[in-house]
Chains A and B, each alone.
Chain A
Amino acid sequence: MAYIPIASQTLGSSQASVTFSSIPTTLQGQNLRDLVLVVSAAANVNSAIRMRFNGDTASNYTSTYIQGTSTTASTGTRSFGFMDLSFSATVRTTFGFTNAAQLMDYSATDKHKTVLHRPNDPGAAIEAFVGRWANTSAITNIEVYNPSGTFSAGSTFSLYGVAA
């Protein structure tokens, strides 16, 4: 089985962030190549959520997205000290937001880290992102956070490794 659960967190109470630390590069005797971060969340206020790697808060993250709402299609590029997990405030006060972020070659030290993900809230927008963390260090820590408020109890965050 090449798709291996690493860790999962289901919030018992609201909190502003979730962190996966000490991320392994091998599991169950297999070398892991990619990570998949699956999020199903709600928040106390409509929020756009973000992630950071290895505690890096410098402007080393670039994301390009396309977005479709009920009326408009758009594209943009964002460069900040975080990587978007959603662009619009699509993490709402009721559950509906989901995302599965693919962190490709997460431990390769010859590459910046490329992330593909498709956040969506059926009530707001569908988006597709490609992000780049301009750092060749292996990802050992992922922080998912809500800069506008808190994640609601019942929100789930699951991390999987893909062996190769």
Chain B
Amino acid sequence: MIPLGILASAGAAPAGAYELISTQVVSSGSPTSVTFSTIPSTYRHLQVRFTVNSPTNGNFLGNLYLRSNGLSSGYVYHYIAGNGSAIDPSSGTSATYMQIRNAIPGATNIFGAGIIEVLDYTATNKVKTIRAFAGANNVSERIVALNSGFVNNTGAITSLQLLTDSGSIANGSRFSLYGIKG
């Protein structure tokens, strides 16, 4: 696979190994989430690349949540974050979502960004491991975070939902889903 955008050490991926499945760009409606549904099972891993803003957060940062298959329980996650002044390690167990730490600014033109990877998403003998690298430099708050977690369910993932912890997703926010063959 291509972890977090870094080429495999053996060289460039062969043609067709990394494919765009779907892109959603928010343009109206003030949604609080976006969902990729009916995800095809023809890949080995998934990657979501996003840029996001939520005016609710103003000059500070909000969290992004991820759910798979509509599940609202069974998530375990850890993150390590730095805000320029202090390092913040934390975790959640038996959570209703996987948290992607402080990736959503609210100031005009300032978007947080992240890359999420869901490994072996169709394997029915595994719980699904999720990794995310995300952050933002907003006016009054700045965070870079490494996140990981899993959802305690062996079902193949057929949908991914990304939600704000508060407020709506701003126009211009973009979420792209890629499939990685293997």
Q: Give A residues with C-beta under 8 Å from B.
A: 1-3, 5, 33-34, 36, 38, 62-66, 73-77, 98, 100, 102, 104-105, 108, 110-112, 114-116, 118, 128-132, 136, 158, 160, 162-164
- Contacts of B5 on A, CB cut-off 8 Å? 36, 100, 102, 162
How many residue pairs link A and B with beta carbons under 8 A? The number is 133
- The answer to whether A64 and B18 have CB atoms under 8 Å apart is no
- The answer to whether B12 and A112 have CB atoms under 8 Å apart is no
- The answer to whether A132 and B178 have CB atoms under 8 Å apart is no
Of all chain B residues, the one with the shortest Cβ separation from A131 is B137
Q: Give B residues with C-beta under 8 Å from A.
A: 2, 4-7, 12-13, 15-20, 23, 49, 51, 80-87, 109-115, 133-137, 142-144, 146, 172, 174, 176, 178
- Contacts of A110 on B, CB cut-off 8 Å? 109, 172
Partner of B12, one of A5, A116, A129, A136: A5
- Contacts of B49 on A, CB cut-off 8 Å? 33-34, 102, 104, 162, 164
Instruction: Say how far A3's CB is from chain B's closest CB, in angstroms.
Output: 4
- The answer to whether B51 and A105 have CB atoms under 8 Å apart is yes
- The answer to whether A114 and B111 have CB atoms under 8 Å apart is yes
Partner of A3, one of B2, B86, B134, B146: B2
- The answer to whether A111 and B51 have CB atoms under 8 Å apart is yes
- The answer to whether A102 and B111 have CB atoms under 8 Å apart is no
Please report the C-alpha to C-alpha distance between residue A52 and residue B51 in the assembled complex, in whole angstroms: 21
Please report the C-alpha to C-alpha distance between residue A110 and residue B26 in the assembled complex, in whole angstroms: 13
